[in-house]
Amino acid sequence: MSSTPRPVGVLGGTFDPIHYGHLRPALEVLELLALAEVRFVPCRIPAHRETPSVTAEQRLELVRLATAGQPGFVADDRELRRPGPSYMVDTLSSLRQELGDGAPLCLIVGGDAFRELHTWRRWQELTDLAHLVVMQRPGASPALPPALEAFVAPRVAREAAALLQQPAGLVRFQAITQLAISATQIRQLLARGQSVRYLLPEAVLAHIHDRALYRPSVAPPVATS
Ligand code: ATP
């Protein structure tokens, strides 16, 4: 007798750089939803923001360092192998091809990214390919843009177990420990030469320093005459 495989989670992002605000909630989702794994998928070219200052390969390397040693965490380079802007609908399609039609797939997004979902390319197809897991702080349920609200309402899964019963199509609001850390804040601190210790894993920090990533901008030499 064959049983339904455990769901695979996908957390896409720029990861510029990856930090504990990504890692801790992802670990909670892995455990709470009994996922087989969480794939961290750094984008090659972000579709919704300006091009990062460090290369996609460097951001992927930071993701590799951050996820190494945590069972169930996987760094996935598929968006770097695809030309052009990175669209989640293409990423889910390629994963769906690998996993087959019956395996549950969960697209994991933060509450902020979720509120913008209706601006993503072919966003209404995302739930044909995967469930949607929205990571939000306990008790939070801010009003959604009307188009998104109408789309989501009939798909909400009140029980986590429902995600195991079908391969895609449900939306699960999952309470997690929200850490008020952003990559923007980390880049700003590094640009000012300030410490980012305890905001991201030590291995990521060491690599950022070794490779001189996100360095403070060098002041122009003072003219002497
Ligand atoms: P930036 O500050 O550069 O916009 P970011 O820190 O928000 O970056 P992203 O790579 O854009 O990081 O985020 C990837 C995914 O992780 C998105 O779904 C986002 O909503 C989610 N996420 C980012 N930071 C947090 C956080 N502190 N808590 C929960 N989810 C988060």
Distances (CA, A) of 193 to 17, 48, 187, 217: 16, 27, 10, 9
81 vs 136: CA distance, rounded Å: 31
Residue minimizing CA distance to atom 26 of ligand 1? 21
* 8-180 CATH pick, 3.40.720.10, 3.40.50.300, 3.40.50.620, 3.40.190.10: 3.40.50.620
For range 35-63, the mean pLDDT? 89
Helix (H, G, I), strand (E, B) or coil at 52: coil
The pair of three-digit structure tokens given for residue 61, joined into one six-digit string: 């390397």
51 vs 16: CA distance, rounded Å: 10
pLDDT of residue 74: 98
Q: Which residue has the tokens 């390969």?
A: 57
What's the mean pLDDT when you consider all of the chain?
92
Decide: 14 in ligand 1 pocket, CB within 6 A. Answer: yes
pTM passes above 0.85: yes
User: 184-208 pLDDT, tens per residue?
Assistant: 999 999 999 999 999 999 999 999 9
Least confident of 23-27, 128-132, 141-145: 141-145
Q: Please, which residues bridge with residue 85 across strands?
A: none
- Select from 182, 184, 185, 188 the residue to mutate for testing ligand 1; criterion: most ligand atoms less than 8 Å from CB: 182
Q: Please, which residues bridge with residue 200 across strands?
A: 197
Decide: 16 in ligand 1 pocket, CB within 6 A. Answer: yes
Decide: 98 in ligand 1 pocket, CB within 6 A. Answer: no
Pairing of strands 131-136, 171-175: parallel
The pair of three-digit structure tokens given for residue 93, joined into one six-digit string: 């399609």
pLDDT of residue 1: 46
Strand order of the β-sheet with 105-110 is 73-75, 37-42, 8-13, 105-110, 131-136, 171-175
Decide: 62 in ligand 1 pocket, CB within 6 A. Answer: no
Does position 84 have pLDDT exceeding 60, yes or no? yes
